[in-house]
Amino acid sequence: MKRILLIATGGTIASAEDGHGLSPALSGEELAACVPEVEGLCELTTLQLMNIDSTNMRPQDWLRIANAIAERYADFDGFLILHGTDTMAYTAAALSYLVPASPKPIVLTGSQRPMTSSFTDAKLNLYQSLLYAVDDASRDVSIVFGGIAIAGTRARKQRTMSANAFKSVNFPPLAYIRNDRIVRAGSWAASGDAAATDAPAPAPVHFDAIDDRVAVLKLTPGLDPAIFSALMPAYHALVLEIYGLGGIPDYGAGELSFKRAIFDWVDSGRAVVLTTQVPEEGLDLGVYEVGRAYAEHPGILRGGDMTTEAIVAKMMWALTQAGDARELERLFYRPVNHDRSDD
């Protein structure tokens, strides 16, 4: 029987009403005890790493989770992280870079309703996540939620109340879970990795540093380009969500332009990633004139079909690993856990 470490971090799944609104209260052991069916799946050990609302999850907490996995990697066959839904996609993406290409599964799940709710989705999510974690074909970081398994870099919370809260963006789900059955599309294997064998899984590379000075800015009509200079003292990189397939306003001469503001940003040694604020199908700067000017300027990175959550996490990771702009570009464009398609 496989050994799984359940890492509890709080979230709605662990919450109870205390008269002031829902807040995390139940421990990982208490949550596991609510689903007795897990006893036949694996040897389950629980670790209460934190007990917070996921809106309070910060990059330093990603490091705590990654370090906990790395310290215990040899002792377990897989890892299940119970997490709040609001920032789960960010944490899943971050773990994809902090513990990349893991031969052992690192699965995140949670729920839209507390475990103690009469109509909770928590019990099925916990059970199916463990079912996925003990499956021999599972590996790398993923989210299992609402009956689907999603690559950790491709998940996005799409609904605030429904049980099918998450969707896989610009990449097919890794699997569907139907009651006790895992249905995989084709012969899925993690990107860049060989098929699983009976040999002991080696410990993956583990990173323990994050640069959290990365901001996201969404273009809106009439936004003042001077905002870039205002952000310079506080941030090393900016993720800019632009319009459609690759549109950035050009208001004409006589005003500070976005082109000048963005070029000044990257020419100062900071990084910028252009991505689209449209949820699906990605970015292509080569289509419209208003986007082509940015396509080849040094220091401007293209998000392609990545999610904003993955871009943020990847930049926070890559900034600590890269010694210069060329290395940052190489790391950003290198695919990790299916995070981007070929440009």
Whether 85 is a known active-site residue: answer: yes
Tokens of 325: 């702009």
Single-letter amino acid code for the residue at 218: K
The two beta strands, 175-178 and 181-184, are: antiparallel
Whether 275 is a known active-site residue: answer: no
Tokens of 107: 């699965």
Catalytic residue (choose from 9, 12, 109, 276): 12
- Terminal Cα distance for the chain, rounded: 42
Residues 102/141, Cβ–Cβ less than 8 Å? yes
Residue 252: left (phi > 0), alpha (psi -120 to 50), or beta? left
Residues 9/94, Cβ–Cβ less than 8 Å? no
86 marked as binding residue = yes
Catalytic residue (choose from 9, 46, 55, 85): 85
Q: Exposed, middle or buried by CB within 10 Å (0-12, 13-18, 19+), for 242?
A: buried
Backbone dihedral angles phi then psi of residue 24, each to the nearest 5 degrees:
-60, 135
| 3-class secondary-structure state, position 231 | helix
Single-letter amino acid code for the residue at 199: A
Distance CA 2, CA 23 (A): 32
Distance CA 228, CA 31 (A): 45
As annotated, the active-site residues are 12, 85
Annotated binding site for substrate: 54, 85-86
Annotated binding site: 54, 85-86
